Amino acid sequence: MNPPEGFLLVDKPPGPTSHDIVDRVRRVVRLRQVGHAGTLDPFASGLLILGIGKATKQLSHLVGLGKTYEAMFVLGGRSTTDDRMGAITFSDAPLPSPAQIEEAMEVFRGDILQIPPTYSAIKIGGKKMYKAARAGKPLEAPPRPATVYAFDLAGELEQMTQDGHALLRFPVLIRCSSGTYVRALARDLGERLGTGGYVAELRRTEIGPFQVQEALNLETLASGWEGRLKPVDEILKRVSVS
């Protein structure tokens, strides 16, 4: 019997790392040769594309595809990790109006430069930034180019209180190039508004032409993966790779 070969679309829940998902799939398909086409932060959920068997050699065709995210931003505080998992420092600055947020968001549409979050997997001088930060020796990466195709409010603003501090919480929709940090968008939007900002929730809904609705969840992975394994030719055709 030939080993399995193809692509598997998985809907990652919040909590496990992308590598945790890879390890789980390795155990289910009983094959070591499994890789992914781009990570998600542990607190985030959504679409992961995994290559299985010889399909791992084709993952490079998928890594650079654009991404779509649904996120929940919070203004009124700063996080050491630029998300809800870090230590939060409240700013107590006046919270902006919807019109002020919309005006500030416009600055981050199109071609931009981003400084990656201190807690990211980028290597500086051979050291991963998140490991250096955990060791109390944070590193700063130089700005990196990114393209934000859409950055829009996606619902109502909700004012809330945490530990006696006023915060503003609201959903956003983001379509962006590969390599864009949503956490950096939240951080930089908050800095522009003078309040600080971070990501409370993050879900990746699309990678190129692939949607999370096509993906298999972990509850049905063990019993359903074989019927959901997509042939290499089918996937490459969808991304116009000959």
- Is 13 part of a structural domain of the chain? yes
Q: What is the pTM of this model?
A: 0.93
Tokens of 181: 């940090």
Per the structure, the complete domain to which residue 47 belongs is given by 6-63+210-238
- Is 221 part of a structural domain of the chain? yes
- 41 is a catalytic site residue: yes
Amino acid at 183: R
pLDDT, greater one: 117 or 173:
173
Catalytic residue among 11, 23, 41, 188: 41
What percent of the chain has pLDDT above 70? Answer: 99
- Is 198 part of a structural domain of the chain? yes
- Is 97 part of a structural domain of the chain? yes
105 vs 25: CA distance, rounded Å = 38
The overall longest dimension of the chain from CA atoms, in Å, is: 65
3-state SS of 100-119? HHHHHHHCCCEEEEECCCCC
Whether 214 and 189 map to the same domain: the answer is no
pLDDT reading at 100 higher than 80: yes
Q: What is the pLDDT of residues 156-182, one digit of tens each?
A: 999 999 999 999 999 999 999 999 999
- Is 1 part of a structural domain of the chain? no
Q: What is the pLDDT of residues 10-19, one digit of tens each?
A: 999 999 999 9
Q: What is the pLDDT of residues 192-227, one digit of tens each?
A: 999 999 999 999 999 999 999 999 998 988 888 999
Q: Mean pLDDT across the chain, nearest whole number?
A: 93
Tokens of 48: 């992961």
